[in-house]
Amino acid sequence: MILANDELKKLISLGRLKVDPLYPDTVRENGLDLRIGGEYAIYAYEGTVVRPCELKDARHLFRVVKADEVVIPPRSFVLLTTEEYVKMPEDVAGLANLRSTLARYGLSVPPTVVDVGFEGNITIEVVNESPNTIVLKRGMRFLHLVLVKAEGRAAYAGTYQGQRGVTPPKGLMGEC
């Protein structure tokens, strides 16, 4: 079940869902619009062979840029972070989507779930599928997070819990 505006406001007022900062236009008809934070990550190298199963940590593959503008080269991607720090209830998950206006420029995000009980800034991949360089600004609404009710309760216990700012991927050594 997708949670609508009134249910989202209720969860926030009860303190079960936390969004900080919370702007007047954050809560939408059927989700939350979140803003671009002050940093992003982009691959530091081109032409490198990346073997996630052989990496304990992949941070060295990325360059973190602190800036008021995010430059996304053609047919490339960046990792963006939300300005907002989000704390999800233990019975609500988020389905991350790019705002449709940005998708009309050729941007997309891969299917991404924000797990029940997750807490932190959300790092999300934004792919530029166009032949043009696209420049986004810090503070603009970019991510539409649709919240859905989960059956039962769970607590997120993953690596990214409590993350602040943009977070490059972990390595998958030991998982493959």
**Which of 29, 125, 129, 175 is labelled catalytic?**
125
Question: How many angstroms from the chain centroid is the CA of residue 93?
Answer: 13
Asked if residues 167 and 64 have their Cβ atoms less than 8 Å apart, the reply is no
Give catalytic status of residue 125 as yes or no: yes
Q: Which residues are catalytic?
A: 125
